Structure 1
Amino acid sequence: MSRTRPAPLKFAYWVPNVSGGLVTSTIEQRTDWGYDYNRKLAQTAENNGFEYALSQVRYMASYGADHQHESTSFSLALLLATERLKVIAAVHPGLWQPGVLAKWVATADHLSGGRAAVNVVSGWFKGEFTALGEPWLEHDERYRRSEEFIRVLREIWTSDNANFQGDFYRIHDFDLKPKPLDVPGRPHPEIFQGGNSTAARRNGGRVSDWYFSNGKDFDGFSEQVTEVNQHAEDAGRAGAVRFALNGFMIARDSEREARETLREIIAKANSDAVEGFRSAVQQAGASTSDKRGMWADSTFEDLVQYNDGFRTQLIGTPEQIADRAVEYKRRGANLLLLGFLHFQEEVEYFGRHVLPIIREKEAELDARSPEALLQSVPGPTPAA
């Protein structure tokens, strides 16, 4: 019985282009939001097994993040400082016009040799929109707008005379030249989109190349994979969506040391900032029709890492982390998006100590019988 060899698990890291690190805690975080630090980090990451980096999007101070660099310009700088790393710029519909973004991505793609990507973020921070004088839509309307936004991007990148008639965007005979680069295995720059809500899962299946999940345990992640794949099948896109999962990694030589680090992070949490963030995001989650929005069931401890990264439980020895990573792959993960306490040192530790064990365990998984592999819910082979 012949079968296709599963693609290796891919890895991305959160770009710390926002001050305060990746946990809202007063614990020491040997990281920096400036460009010099991030340029070196990007170069280290691409030499330690990371294929992607995700630049965060914040426009104003909030919940412990006092300063921030704009995501698209920062992403381009990192693309030009690296050779292989693909950089995903997070963007907000409502603050970007899709035709303008399509042009920016096409230019960045040419300058970087085909390594530009976008993460379409429907938005949770009402204050940013109102401070800029932009209307704040209700939850499901934000996701309807995001779906149109993604459809417009794809139409402009793949059509000579793009046309689109929607409720939020209208494009008339728009001809983008130059188009993004023709990269084998990629019809256009990759489009990521995430969330936990019913609307987010529907968008993931209907229009996205990649679905980003907030931190989830095994069962929570499997549930999302199943639902998004069903939406994709209903839309005539069966097998078209790949899955990325957020996780905060604490890899140490002993499990006790890793767990003590987690305990200290939470013990030193900035309570006011975490509670402020919790109030804002859980209001957004509760505004969905079925109360199943992002962060709807997150605890205080979960939100100390503001994308529920502790829930993925990538915490322990390299062996323990590798076991969990490969189990997530078996359940459908194509990529793990990682945050760290001390980025530079821990990215290097990951490349030296964790990644080799993951590759060994992937080989063991691949060597199992086809019947065992059929228990998984794989996505398609990722683009080269």
Structure 2
Amino acid sequence: MRYGYWAPVFGGWLRNTDDEPQASWEHLKGIVTRSEDLGYDLTLIAELNLNDIQGIQAPALDAWSSAAALAAITSTIELMVAVRPNFHQPALFAKQAANIDRISNGRLALNVVSSWWAKEAESYGLQFDQHDDRYARTTEWLQVLDRLWTDPTTDFAGDFYTLKDAIVEPKPVSTSERPRPVIYAGGESEAAKTLIARYCDAYVMHGDEPAVIADKIADMRRRREAFGLPPMQYGMAGYSIVRDSQREAEAELARITTIPGLADGSPPAGFANFDQWLSGTQLERELKIREYSVSNRGLRPGFVGTPETVRERMEEFEAAGLNLVLLQMSPQAEEMERFSRQVMRAN
């Protein structure tokens, strides 16, 4: 199993508590540089210009300038940076990403996200496509990227993008094991899964039970084989609470899943964004209200309990075919130390 974590570009990850840190470069730098010493394999740097966790008025760090800075001061960790095609012209992005990959000596990866948040796009004056159009744009965007990172010059004429004699030099670091930056993506609609199986290297899922994850992996393996492509990697989001006793872990779980103000009609600032996210995707609608507390269905995997309990749970997911977990924790620095010592290094 590879262990990754969400970089704190929004500050903390809990929506219901008032003691989470605000986003800052100093906090981000400290977490990521320390994570290399702790043995983490990867960090996911999310891309939103508005803060989806603490409310849109709260600070949110820019993903790509942060990634460039981190590339220069780290040496081993994979930098998986989210990118939304409707926010980035592909030829200019290909140049920017290739440069960051060179700075990191081949440690850049992409998490391609077909945008879901209409409010953010409208705030910044950007195009917001309807669901299937988003995936059509992403398909074309990835085709352009592949050409620019492979061919000496690129001509392209599509429905969304047109290029003439485009050149990207230097290109990203290329080896036999990694010919270009690894491309991760997630999605549960038919359009999303078809795109990911054809154009991406890894499928990243929201948190869920091992049996559900096993079924999703089996489905994507069949799709991948139908295209005659090599096996993919499979990752999943999860929120971890590791304590010396199950009782202590459950007490922390109860604390973070209590939504203040919900009963009297004055919920936290980010709750409206959660409602909008549900209405804008084809995800299952049976999400429990407590899952607002932790993003990406992070509580469903059940990484809550003693070190032994969490290790056993990780083994269940590994048996299901998962090879990467993307963790959220709070307070992040303290919990990442604990998880590294008691779960990762105890094996």
TM-score category (smaller protein): over 0.9
After TM superposition, the score normalised by the length of structure 1 is: 0.84
Q: Residues of 2 paired with 1:163 and 1:319: CA distance? A: 55
The aligned runs of 1:142-153 (5 Å cut-off) are 142-153=134-145
Alignment of 1:282 with 2:282, yes or no, is no
Q: Which residue of 1 aligns with 2:73?
A: 81
CA–CA separation in structure 2 for the residues paired with 1:277 and 1:219: 30
Q: Is the 8 A contact 1:90 1:118 kept in 2?
A: yes
In the alignment, which residue of structure 2 is the partner of 1:234?
Answer: 226
Cα deviation 1:278-298 (Å, max 9, x = unaligned) = 32011112xxxxxxx235332
1:303 aligns with 2:312: no
User: How far apart in 2 are the matches of 1:98 and 1:143?
Assistant: 15
Contact residue 86 and residue 115 of structure 2 kept, 8 A = no
Contact residue 25 and residue 270 of structure 1 kept, 8 A: no
Give the whole-Å Cα distance in 2 for the aligned partners of 1:343 and 1:139. Answer: 34
> How many residues were matched structurally?
340
In the alignment, what sits opposite 1:250? 241
Measure how far apart 1:123 and its partner are.
Answer: 1.0
| Structure-to-structure mapping, 1:342-357, within 5 angstroms | 342-357=331-346
In the alignment, which of 179, 182, 185 is matched to residue 174 of structure 2? 182
Q: Could you tell me whether the CA contact under 8 Å between 2:98 and 2:170 is conserved in 1? A: yes
Secondary structure in 1 matching 2:67: helix
- Are 2:77 and 1:91 equivalent residues in the alignment? no
Shift of 1:110: 1.3
Unaligned runs of 5+ in 1: 1-8, 286-292, 361-384
Partner of 2:253: 262
Please tell me the residue identity of whatever aligns with 1:92. R
Q: 1:125-156: per-residue Cα shift (whole Å, max 9, x none)?
A: 10111122222211111112112222221221
Q: 2: distance between equivalents of 1:165 and 1:326? A: 47
Find the counterpart in structure 1 of residue 37 from structure 2.
Answer: 47
Cα distance in 2 for partners of 1:168, 1:295 equals: 30
8 Å CA contact 1:281, 1:294 repeated in 2: no
Q: Distance in 2 between the 1:64 and 1:337 partners?
A: 20
Which residue does 1:367 correspond to in 2?
A: none
- Which runs of at least 4 in structure 1 moved beyond 6 Å after TM superposition? none
Same amino acid, percent of matched pairs: 28
The structural deviation recorded for 1:270 is: 6.6
Q: Out of 221, 224, 242, which is 2:216 matched to?
A: 224
Q: What does residue 33 of structure 1 align with?
A: 23
1:278, 1:300 within 8 Å by CA — same for their partners in 2?
Answer: no
Is contact 2:10–2:54 with CA below 8 Å preserved after alignment?
no
Deviation at 1:190, TM superposition (A): 1.1
- Equivalence for 1:325: 314
**CA–CA distance in 2 between the matches of 1:139 and 1:334?**
29
How many Å separate the matches in 2 of 1:261 and 1:222? 28
Q: 1:37 to 1:301 in 2, by over 3 A?
A: same
> Aligned-pair distance for 1:268?
4.5
How far apart in 2 are the matches of 1:11 and 1:162?
Answer: 37
What CA distance in whole angstroms lies between the structure 2 residues aligned with 1:270 and 1:356?
A: 40
For the 8 Å contact 2:243–2:249, the answer to whether it is kept is: yes
CA distance in 2, matches of 1:63, 1:40: 20
**How far off is 1:249 after superposition?**
0.6
Alignment partner of 1:105 is 2:101: no
Report the CA distance between 1:269 and its aligned residue.
4.9
Q: Which whole-Å deviations, capped at 9, do the CAs of 1:180-213 have from their partners, x for residues lacking one?
A: 1124510101111112322222222111111110
